[in-house]
Amino acid sequence: MKRTFINSYYRILGLKILDRNSKNLLLFTTLSTIWAVIFGLIGPFYVIHVERLSGGMEKLGIAFAIMIFFQSLASYIAGRSSDRLGRKPFLFLIAYVDAIILFLYTLIKGTVELYILQGLFGISNGVSQTISVSLLGDITKKEKRGRAIGIFHAIVGIASSLGLVLSGYAVKRYGLKSIFYIASFVLFFSTILLFGISEDSSLDNEEAD
């Protein structure tokens, strides 16, 4: 009944009715675009900030090595677990964890604290990359999957470049810590879009394949 009402509403407005997978793809693309702008915004200055906190170039290398190490471990665990638990719980988790981590980057002072945050950030990155690819596979049809994923990455890539362009202006106007606060706030509340994604839509693809 609810779906019939929504479809009728779309027809009255002259809008195209999206099937469940198309709606999921649109919502996930929108969410990923927001995240891309945010991480593009802090990207260049995140490296500078970490370099300042690390206290030396050799410690900077260790900090990023820790991040990549935990990112690698998390990728496999997240992929395997999401097959059983679904993708959405992990997307909620990484958004909230990233929001907290970005906020904590403005508070920490020591190298040990930096290493801990880099490890957590690595776990978050590993989960994010794996879940994103898995979810795209779930919500795209086999015969159009390459095209859909190509469009997705093109949009997200452009959004990231836009964030990079704006980053310098944002830091100059608001200060370095302010963009971390903004990024943390937006990441936290962007998860509202996740409530619109239907987790069971992957069943439609299995039947279509």
Q: Spell out the SS3 assignment of 83-119.
A: HHHCCHHHHHHHHHHHHHHHHHCCCCCCHHHHHHHHH
For 19-57, write each residue's pLDDT tens digit: 777 888 889 999 999 999 999 888 777 777 777 777 777
Domain membership of residue 22 (yes or no) is no
Domain membership of residue 15 (yes or no) is no
pLDDT, residue 59, reads 79
- Read off the pLDDT band of 200 (50, 70, 90): low
Whether 73 has a pLDDT exceeding 60, the answer reads yes
What DSSP string runs through 5-66? HHHHHHHHHTPPPP-HHHHHHHHHHHHHHHHHHHHHHHHHHHHHHHHHHHTSHHHHHHHHHH
pLDDT, residue 10, reads 41
pLDDT, residue 18, reads 52
pLDDT, residue 61, reads 84
pLDDT, residue 16, reads 47
Domain membership of residue 108 (yes or no) is yes
- Tell me what percent of the residues of the chain surpass a pLDDT of 90: 37
CATH classification of the domain holding 146: 1.20.1250.20
Domain membership of residue 150 (yes or no) is yes
Show the domain range for 128.
37-195
For 83-102, write each residue's pLDDT tens digit: 888 899 999 999 999 999 98
Whether 111 has a pLDDT exceeding 50, the answer reads yes
Whether 9 has a pLDDT exceeding 60, the answer reads no
- Looking at the structure of the chain, the number of domains it has is 1
Domain membership of residue 94 (yes or no) is yes
Provide the mean pLDDT of the chain: 82
pLDDT, residue 140, reads 85
Domain membership of residue 207 (yes or no) is no
3-state secondary structure at position 175:
coil
Residue 18: φ, ψ to 5°: -90, 135
Domain membership of residue 23 (yes or no) is no
- Tell me what percent of the residues of the chain surpass a pLDDT of 70: 85
